[in-house]
Structure 1
């Protein structure tokens, strides 16, 4: 018969009798989830507070390259995002005592976005210590199209390629112009360029729901692929030999390349283009915002394509 062990200094209680056992299990599960890329709400090191309206940095990725969910925080930014149709997956609130928060709750309810109650500590951890004002909207990661898929969306296809645009709001304005004048999609580089964020959704006025954005690892190489597929590639540049009103080949398969307001087109991208076209500006402005320049050029292209 086995001797019964007495409770003493060396006595170890069973796991289920230890009150701290559950906490250790939860911590272990959170650690394993972090290894696999699953997002968990847990303790993080404190970071300096950021202005309201900022969450996870634009383009933030998990290990392995997958897009991470973005957070829009602050009463006014969340309400504006919901009004603009930003695709939210969850709305976290501390309480609905504030008028703007009640408005956000109503807007989220109208769009069937789940409402979740969260304490201050939980929101602090989710936002890395940023000023959240008791509310945060989680935005689902954007699903980018493949650049080749844009060729099949229209006959003849009209594509806008962005080179060096780093402001998500400028990208949203480009998408809005593309939607207004019948472009079939927008291409952006994967690195050192703006991607689709909540700010892009707002600036696009919801047109991202109809105009796909594709990512490419090398824009110059992708432009060459479009040329091989039969597209004429024209870049917007002040040094252009013709104006956007003289783009006669715009009636066929066409790619319009737009650069940033400050630097314009990169050297390799400009050399890849079949032609550079400029926008006449009799006024005193030296350059135009990317969204404005795209709108002007696409208007002239649409006018030609309509006969």
Structure 2
């Protein structure tokens, strides 16, 4: 269980994380989302003991990481895939990790095979690895101690569509076996595909959190017609609140039957009438963070 309670981090007079609280139970993947500079990395670094919070707590299994008897064997961490010795081979990097963690040397080849780096890539120097291969090696290092918890920051960077699909399966399988995954990523569609619950941070504060169903299951009705003004007037006359939707659509705070009846009573022609929802995580992200385009996020489909 990951538990973050009232976490705050200040650098001088600047507050980068303010009163952040959320938890990640075993058997789940939690997507941790926010625009650049929102406080995601600071929160993750506080959780794994690399940054000391100003106040609040960040624990795994009820303990701070520094108090765990063998942190690397209980928590697998990938925060920066580039932080690897370019002169060593992939096998050498993991062999050194196995010595530090005190795990059997046989785990090295198991982990390399688990991430698709067995054979020739294992004997290749890391300096010649692509970014995607470095990500795989970093994930192998995180898995080396057979941990119960994974904390991952942008693990899919540099992976091709097949690699992203592979990682989705790996993380889903880890959670389904009872593991806990906290995943920060800009690849919103991938997070939506694999996550059980979502935490959105903006400006150092939690903007929303909950299960994927709770956050993405929007209420209301999307309605569209050739004359938007006439349609909007008809709905408001029927005491139905409306808000702008995508393009020239309206989102009405009522079920489709009530919306259709109000439009019919006013003689308003409809070209679309459907339950709201299905727009997905991209729309939620934009609504909560004010992000207008791909400048702060990428919506990459597998």
**Which band: TM-score by shorter chain?**
under 0.3
TM-score (norm 2): 0.23
Higher strand share goes to which structure? 2
